[in-house]
Amino acid sequence: MDGQPLIRLQGISREYRMDAEVVRALRGVDLSIETNEMLAIMGSSGSGKSTLLNILGLLDVPTAGQYWLDGQDVAQLSQSALARVRGRRIGFVFQTFELLPRQTAIRNVELPLIYTGTPQRRQLAIEALERVGLADRMKHRPNEMSGGQRQRVAIARALVQHPAILLADEPTGNLDSRTSEEILDLFETLYGEGQTIVIVTHEAEIAQRCRRIVRLRDGQIESDQRHGDAGKRTAVAGAATGGGGG
């Protein structure tokens, strides 16, 4: 419906019991994400950013609060319905790529389509690999590709079902600075095509490439800042001329 965010979190808390101690990973998080946003989630270790990503990706369940995806309260879904939504509506990109080493790029991209019983798998996988610039690497296995190419395969696999939202957990963590720039350029291209993207990162340079930065501290949102394309380019240019890579 018009005006309805793609994702809305209200009062999301997540507690874990570790022996006699209760760890409060998230403490009453309110967050809305619109369709076609490019958002970074930042925070130090233990801030709750990974827990938040897992909840957004329907990999974890909050202890309290509500999560609406496309206006639907996900708490009302059965486990099988949650799995279907997760498989079709959410794409995941991980720091470690998570590719099957013995399978070619095209077979790795086909994998989620096999799980969901999607027809025309080969054609969809080809289109996804072409979209990330790997038309000439479809028959290659992971050990025959660079780190950047492997991450592109992982992104193609995440995109193959045309998900509503792409969740990326430290997607450049295992890449050198030049390859990281290429992957971020690809994310920007996808954003320009209308994709909603959430990137968890601890690197300010990566966050500055996004249009919105949400910072977590001790399980709560410390700040939520938006900036336009011009501000982003200025910040990136300043980082490039000022040096000081991480």
Q: What stretch of H or E contains 79?
A: helix 79-89
pLDDT reading at 47 higher than 70: yes
* Segments forming the whole domain that contains residue 193: 35-61+79-242
Question: Does residue 13 form part of some domain?
Answer: no
Q: 163 and 7 in contact (C-beta within 8 Å)?
A: no
Question: Can you spell out the DSSP letters for 20-42?
Answer: TEEEEEEEEEEEEE-TT-EEEEE
The region, left, alpha or beta by phi > 0 then psi within -120 to 50, assigned to residue 228 is: beta
CB neighbours of 166 closer than 8 A, spacing ≥ 6?
90, 91, 93, 155, 158, 159, 190, 195, 196, 197, 198
Q: 40 and 199 in contact (C-beta within 8 Å)?
A: yes
Q: What is the pLDDT of residue 2?
A: 54
CATH number at 148 reads 3.40.50.300
Q: What is the pLDDT of residue 10?
A: 98
Domains held by the chain: number: 1
Question: Does residue 169 form part of some domain?
Answer: yes
Q: What's the chain's average pLDDT?
A: 89
Inter-axis angle of helices 121-131 and 147-159, nearest 10: 130
- What is the amino acid identity at position 85? V
Question: What average pLDDT does range 135-154 have in this prediction?
Answer: 95
Question: Does residue 41 form part of some domain?
Answer: yes
Q: How confident is the model at residue 18 (pLDDT cuts 50, 70, 90)?
A: confident
Using a cut of 0.85, tell me whether the model's pTM lies above it: yes
Question: Does residue 3 form part of some domain?
Answer: no
Q: Which residue has the higher pLDDT, 172 or 237?
A: 172
Q: Report pLDDT digits (tens) over 68-104.
A: 999 999 999 999 999 989 988 999 999 889 999 999 9
Question: Does residue 10 form part of some domain?
Answer: no
Q: How confident is the model at residue 230 (pLDDT cuts 50, 70, 90)?
A: very low
Q: What is the pLDDT of residue 201?
A: 93
Question: Does residue 71 form part of some domain?
Answer: no
Q: What is the pLDDT of residue 232?
A: 40
Q: Report pLDDT digits (tens) over 28-42.
A: 999 999 999 999 999
- Backbone φ and ψ of 197, nearest 5°: -135, 130
Question: Does residue 202 form part of some domain?
Answer: yes
